[in-house]
A and B are shown apart, each in its own frame.
Chain A
Amino acid sequence: MERFAGLLQQLPRHQGEMLRALHLAQEELGWISRDAIRLIARHLRVSEAQVYGPATFYAEFRHSPPPKTLVTWCSGPSCRVVGGDRVRRIFEAEFGCHMGENTADDELGLWLGQCNGTCEKAPMVWVNGRVVGPLSMVDTVKLARGLKAGDDPVTWPERPIKIAPATFVDAESTYGSEHADSGPDGTNDGTV
């Protein structure tokens, strides 16, 4: 908080600095706390309401502390047409929380993200900002459970996982080649 207060002082005292100040708060504190709002209001010489307004208008600003590992789900259309909504349902079921919420221990959390044009990785999520995709539904369950088990989000998965069911059971015998053929990216959406 002190560091944030110090950095805030370097911004000009003008309402046009609002978004910069809010971004600064989120970067420094992880979220926009009431205290942060008070500090910004005093520094920019506006009312707290004039800070609270923008702080709650823009979807990127958090109003509760972030989890240790944030899974941002891409809500975009290219992801959706190849099973993106299923990815969402799997994460919500596995984590036991909805978009915008954290698990009870604040270890994991979900966030609704917008397409940033890496659609050729669809369907995908960002784990602490890193793209993981294209995800088959099996991949998705593995990813969700891996993160729950405390897999290091920085190094896991080693690379965007494709179809290869490398880490569980006896892949060859249980899956057969048929499964691996289910789609270009391992997804088999809807139709049989």
Chain B
Amino acid sequence: MSSVYDEIREAAELSAAPRRSPSRPLVRVDLSTSSIAAEADRLWEALEPLAAEHDVDLVRVGTLGLSWLEPVVEVERPGFGGGGAVVYGPVRPEEAGQFLTAALGEHPLEDAAQWLIGARTPVQGVPSLSDHPFWAPQERRLMQSMGVIDPESLDEAIAAGAYEALDRAIEMEPMAICDLVLSAGVGGRGGGGFPAGQKWKFLLGAQSQTKYLVCNADEGDPGAFVNRVLMESDPHLVIEGMAIAGKATGSDYGFIYIRDEYPLSIARMELALAQARERGLLGENIFGSGFDFDLEITRGAGSYVCGEETGLIASVEGLRGMPKIRPPFPAQKGVFAEPSNVNNTETYANVPLIVQHGADWYRLHGTESDPGTKMFSISGSLERPGILEVPFGMGMDELLLGCGGGPPDGHTPKGIQPGGPLGGLLPASDLGLKLERPPFTERGVLLGSGGLILFDERASAVDLTKYFSEFCEDESCGRCTTCHGGSQRLVEVLERIMHGDGREEDLERIGVIDKTLQNANCLHGQFTPYAVRGLVNYFRDELDVHINDKRDPAQVAPGLTRYLITDQSDPRLEEAATFCPTSCINRAPVESDDDEEPSDELGDWQINEPQCIHCDVCREIAPDAIRVEDRYLTMLSVV
């Protein structure tokens, strides 16, 4: 260890001591984006005035990943049952006082039972979190400090070991770092899986005074929030990884490109950068070694193709974020025409761990093709959505059904959407696939960057495909007609099918569009047909029913269904009518024989079909009196 780092470490440990070996109880509140969406900020406000009274230290932390239990609170009581930390959730803001009293009392096991989840570190008598199905199979490396340290405190990060690997790497030869990362076999986490060490060597070998690093934190895939959690919960891990990459590639400056949808990530990264600079962990002559490195943040503005590396580079340069044809690759001509290297946030975050523990340690988990661990964000129809880190090669069923608990309320899994809009669709029968790239590629889909969405029988595969195709159309940069025109045609065909106008030749037409799109300029267009290919390959029955029988088994396509009133006597119809956004539920006055005096009597309830927007409000209110029918089937039976 360099003496400079030693000093920094010692000072940080001293200042973080009250948090690391506390003398009074610590109450850690998860303040990350999804937790705040569950009102963790209001919980914090409610706890603050109570902290003094209960003599506790209130600590802001990132997420443990237990999204379905948010807001999550962890209580660590020195001297109680061995002094471990117990996780509770969800704790509602209005329960703050009651919760503190219970969790800090004599019998938290009984009194706080309604919130109790488990002990993260051993507490006598409290069930361990590692026995929880969500936690048990996890291998938390990147997530080790997440939800434990205050992401806004550099002291806590350093005391937990941050920047130790940088100190070590700075003493190493650049080529040795590249070799280490290459032998560990870290694949790019952005979806491509290209060996990071190899890419670094390209940049190291580039002849230029100026070289740039770029961190891809655009995370455009809906349903993926791995990078967000990394930046919000342990920002210094990302910064340290980039600094090591800087040393390894001979680069002294980098850009972190964060999507605009992540304001908290941007704020925490900005703060972390400022702290690191102030402490001399970034800037000139780091640890007195002569190595300079600094970073800046570029804030995106809502564009999916800016996640593609050449689009991202264009965006950093202040242009429209339109991808370019490669070559030249970024290592030849990147940001401002200088040689550059683009990696995903999670790719960089793995690097400090490898420098610290070595390539063999890294390969203890994972598979031949994908060594190490991977963070996954799981959502959709799940009992326990959240974010976790597991070894590559684990079964997808173990992750989604085991950890995630499968669909709630007895629904049955229907399919999986891995890897974002370009990833494709898989049927539930593929749940057994191993979580590594090859089996997914073999099935014609992409494992992608870590988002996995499970859907059940209530969702329509056709509707989902239309959504992803629409997304790809919307986000097409517009440079090549193949892509923006092709995706437009695709959406049109799917839309027509969902309106009962499907034709037999549509399958052929989809095939032609698929082939055409494969000739698009960039991967965005080339991967656009993955979703529809999944539909045709794995949900063919459903598509056929749409086309041939004009029926939507999931009953979500407005063009193929209609709402019918089946019980005129239900008193709730009155209320359903007032809630209908388009006032399409009415009863006309009964026509009276007497022309002069219209009758007060009202006739039957009716739904005015052309006005109906299929919003389901009426059926939610009067489920026994209103039914969704197949539009064409009922029409036939009427004739």
Residues of A bordering B, CB below 8 Å: 14-20, 22-23, 44, 53-54, 57-61, 75-78, 80-83, 85-86, 89-90, 93-94, 113-122, 124, 131, 133, 136-138, 140-141, 144, 159-160, 169, 174-175, 178-179, 182-184, 186-192
Contacts and interface: CB of A to CB of B under 8 A. Distances in A.
A129 B220 CA distance: 19
B632 interface: no
A58 B34 contact: no
B113 interface: no
Given A59-B303, A117-B225, A93 B613 contact: yes
Nearest to A57: B320
A77 B464 contact: yes
A78 B380 contact: yes
B621 A179 contact: yes
Contact of A15 (B222, B303, B317): B317
A144 B315 CA distance: 36
Given A83-B616, A136-B620, A118 B301 contact: no
Nearest to A74: B222
Given A16-B318, A188-B619, 13 more contacts: A14-B318, A44-B318, A54-B318, A54-B319, A60-B260, A77-B467, A78-B385, A81-B455, A93-B613, A120-B67, A133-B37, A189-B616, A190-B555
28 contacts: A14-B318, A16-B336, A57-B320, A58-B301, A58-B302, A59-B303, A60-B260, A60-B301, A75-B467, A76-B223, A77-B453, A77-B464, A78-B385, A83-B616, A86-B614, A89-B581, A119-B223, A119-B380, A120-B67, A120-B68, A131-B37, A138-B617, A138-B620, A169-B575, A179-B620, A190-B459, A190-B554, A192-B627
A19 B300 contact: yes
Given A15-B317, A76-B223, A78-B379, A59 B301 contact: yes
B575 A54 contact: no
Contacts of A119: 67, 223, 225, 379-380, 385
B556 interface: yes
Contacts of B302: 58-61, 114
A94 B380 contact: no
B318 A144 contact: no
Contacts of B320: 53-54, 57
A148 B113 CA distance: 42
A90 B617 contact: yes
B319 A53 contact: yes
A94 B613 CA distance: 11
A45 to B, nearest CB: 12
A116 B300 contact: no
A191 B456 CA distance: 11
B620 A94 contact: no
Interface string B38-75: 11001000000000000000000000000110100000
B628 to A, nearest CB: 7
B529 interface: no
Nearest to A176: B572
Contacts of B67: 119-120
Nearest to B574: A174
Contacts of A80: 459, 463-464, 467
Contacts of B417: 77
A72 to B, nearest CB: 10
B25 interface: no
A23 B260 CA distance: 10
B617 A114 contact: no
B37 A23 contact: no
A128 B453 CA distance: 27
Contacts of A182: 620, 623
B621 A117 contact: no
Contacts of B269: none
Contact of A174 (B37, B460, B575): B575
